[in-house]
Structure 1
Amino acid sequence: MECIKFSIGGLFEKHDFLKRFMEIYKSDSDKFYDYISISSFFGSVKCNWNGGRIINDYWDRNPEMIARYMRENYPEIECRLTFTNTFIEESDLEDEVGNKLLELFNYGHNGVIVYSEILEEYIRKHYPKYRIISSITKSLNKENTIKELHKDYSLVVLNTNYILDKEFVSTLPNKQKIEILVNDACSKICPKRLEHYLSYSRDQKNNSHTRFCNCESSGPLYELKDKELFISNEKILDYVNMGITNFKIQGRTNYDYDLLETLVYYLVKPEYTLEIREKFMLNLID
Structure 2
Amino acid sequence: MSQRKNKKVYYHLPGLFEFYELYCAFLPLYKEHREYFYDWCEISSIYGSPADCLWGGGRAGFGSDNPEEVLKLTQEYGISARLTFSNSLLRKEHLTDKKCNILCKMFEEVGEKRNGVIVHSDLLLKYLETNYPKLYFVSSTTKVLTDFNEFLQEVKKEDFRYVVPDFRLNKAFDKLNMLSEQEKNKVEFLCNECCWFGCKDRKQCYEIVSRKNLGEMIPDHKCNSPDAKEGYRFSKAMKNPGFISANDIKKIYLPMGFENFKIEGRGLGSALVLEFLLYYMVKPEYQICVREEVYLDNMLDLF
TM value normalised by structure 2: 0.87
Alpha-carbon distance in 1 for matches of 2:108, 2:266: 22
Cα RMSD, aligned residues only: 1.9
* Aligned residue number for residue 234 of structure 1: 247
Of 76, 96, 104, the residue aligned with 1:102 is: 104
Alpha-carbon distance in 2 for matches of 1:207, 1:272: 46
> Structure 1 212/35 Cα, relative in aligned 2: closer, same or farther at 3 Å?
farther
Count residues in correspondence: 282
Report if aligned partners of 2:24, 2:73 keep a CA contact under 8 Å in 1: no
Alpha-carbon distance in 2 for matches of 1:155, 1:177: 4
Report if aligned partners of 1:53, 1:210 keep a CA contact under 8 Å in 2: no
1:162 equivalent in alignment to 2:169? yes
CA deviation profile, 1:19-46 (whole Å, cap 9, x unmatched): 1110111121111001100000000112
* Aligned residue number for residue 175 of structure 1: 184
Alpha-carbon distance in 1 for matches of 2:100, 2:194: 25
Alpha-carbon distance in 2 for matches of 1:240, 1:94: 41
Aligned partner of residue 125 in structure 1, secondary structure: helix
CA shift, 1:257, in A, is 1.2
**Higher mean displacement: 186-195 or 87-96:** 186-195
Alpha-carbon distance in 2 for matches of 1:269, 1:263: 11
CA shift, 1:210, in A, is 4.4
**Higher mean displacement: 86-95 or 21-30:** 21-30
* Aligned residue number for residue 3 of structure 2: none
1:257 equivalent in alignment to 2:242? no
Q: Which amino acid aligns with 2:54?
A: N
Gaps of 5+ in 1: none
* Aligned residue number for residue 224 of structure 1: 237
1:191 equivalent in alignment to 2:200? yes
Gaps of 5+ in 2: 1-5
Of 45, 52, 56, the residue aligned with 1:50 is: 56
Alpha-carbon distance in 2 for matches of 1:70, 1:234: 27
CA deviation profile, 1:230-270 (whole Å, cap 9, x unmatched): 21112212111211100001112211111111110000011
> Structure 1 207/62 Cα, relative in aligned 2: closer, same or farther at 3 Å?
farther
CA shift, 1:132, in A, is 1.1
Alpha-carbon distance in 2 for matches of 1:69, 1:2: 26
Alpha-carbon distance in 2 for matches of 1:172, 1:192: 29
TM value normalised by structure 1: 0.92
Alpha-carbon distance in 2 for matches of 1:211, 1:8: 25
Alpha-carbon distance in 2 for matches of 1:185, 1:280: 25
* Aligned residue number for residue 144 of structure 1: 150
* Aligned residue number for residue 215 of structure 2: 206
> Structure 1 131/244 Cα, relative in aligned 2: closer, same or farther at 3 Å?
same
CA shift, 1:228, in A, is 2.6
Report if aligned partners of 2:82, 2:116 keep a CA contact under 8 Å in 1: yes
> Structure 1 228/284 Cα, relative in aligned 2: closer, same or farther at 3 Å?
farther
1:5 equivalent in alignment to 2:10? yes
Alpha-carbon distance in 1 for matches of 2:253, 2:198: 18
Q: Which amino acid aligns with 1:63?
A: P
Aligned partner of residue 6 in structure 1, secondary structure: strand
Q: Which amino acid aligns with 1:147?
A: Q
Of 119, 122, 135, the residue aligned with 2:124 is: 119
* Aligned residue number for residue 65 of structure 2: 61
* Aligned residue number for residue 80 of structure 1: 82
Q: Which amino acid aligns with 1:280?
A: V
Aligned partner of residue 202 in structure 1, secondary structure: helix
CA deviation profile, 1:2-57 (whole Å, cap 9, x unmatched): 1000000111111111111101111211110011000000001121100001225x
Alpha-carbon distance in 1 for matches of 2:20, 2:148: 35
Alpha-carbon distance in 2 for matches of 1:224, 1:138: 21
Alpha-carbon distance in 2 for matches of 1:210, 1:185: 18
